[in-house]
Amino acid sequence: MQIYSIYDPEFKAYGKPLEGYDTKELREAMEAIAMPESGVMYEAGIDSLEACGIFKDLQDRAFGGMPIELGMCWGYNTKLNCLEYHRDSEINIGTREFVLLLAKMDDIEDGMLDTAKVKAFRVPAGVVAEVYATSLHYAPCHTDAEGGFRVAVVLPKGTNTEKPEYAACNEEDKWMTARNKWLLAHPESAEAGQGAYVGLTGENIDIAG
């Protein structure tokens, strides 16, 4: 699978690099959090990360003053498994290089998305990467099997927390798995086995393969 850079023209439809942010303090705080033995962990908001000076800068500039949460996704992963989206952009910052597997919302047809539409993008360490609301994404992929990945995840406050209770009135309502989180699972994924909506067809992409 070809892996583009977020500085390549192909990324323009999915997001953009954001300039003018000092990520050093944040990356040091992220490195202080222990890695899991295997798999992927995620926390929507982490106090030690939100205490970093960049938190207010991201809130005021990147999110226009809206309340945000600064958490992290970290561990070991090379597979697609699922794709999710929010009603807003997500910002990612890695302590080391990582890869995002992305697709576009308008590639969903009749509740399904063919994974042949997915593209891979390499994000350099420390770069602030905005992923647009119309870009489907999921857990980052590592490029260093030994080191794994630590990626900060910045979203509007409350995202990825407890799912609201409601009666589904349309197809998209069935895809919500958490607050401000709509998810399409691949049939081979653990999420599908746990009851998530199966909305991905084709290969479960593995960048290690």
Note the CATH architecture for domain 3-160: Sandwich (2.60)
Whole-number pLDDT of residue 111: 96
Q: What residue spans define the domains of the chain?
A: 3-160
Q: Per residue of the chain (209 residues), what is the pLDDT tens digit?
A: 999 999 999 999 999 999 999 999 999 999 999 999 999 999 999 999 999 999 999 999 999 999 999 999 999 999 999 999 999 999 999 999 999 999 999 999 999 999 999 999 999 999 999 999 999 999 999 999 999 999 999 999 999 999 999 999 999 999 999 999 999 999 999 999 999 999 999 999 999 97
Burial 49-77 (b: 16+ CB within 10 A, else e): bbebebbeebbeebbeeeebbbbbbbbbb
CA 95, CA 93: separation in Å to the nearest integer? Answer: 7
CA 149, CA 65: separation in Å to the nearest integer? Answer: 29
Q: Which amino acid is at 8?
A: D
Three-class DSSP labels, the chain: CCEEECCCHHHHHCEEEECCCCCHHHHHHHHCCCCCCCCEEEECCCHHHHCCCHHHHHHHHHCCCCCEEEEEEEECCCECCEEEECCCCEEEEECCCEEEEEEEHHHCECCEEEHHHCEEEEECCCCEEEECCCEEECCCEECCCCCCEEEEEEEECCCCCCCCCCCCCCCHHHHEEECCEEEEECCCCHHHHCCCCECEECCCCECCC
Whole-number pLDDT of residue 137: 98
Whole-number pLDDT of residue 209: 77
- What's the whole-model pTM score? 0.97
> Could you report the per-residue pLDDT of 151-175, keeping only the tens digit for each?
999 999 999 999 999 999 999 999 9
Rg (CA), the chain: 16
CA 143, CA 137: separation in Å to the nearest integer? Answer: 17
Whole-number pLDDT of residue 97: 98
Reference 195, options 67, 108, 82, 115; nearest CA is 82
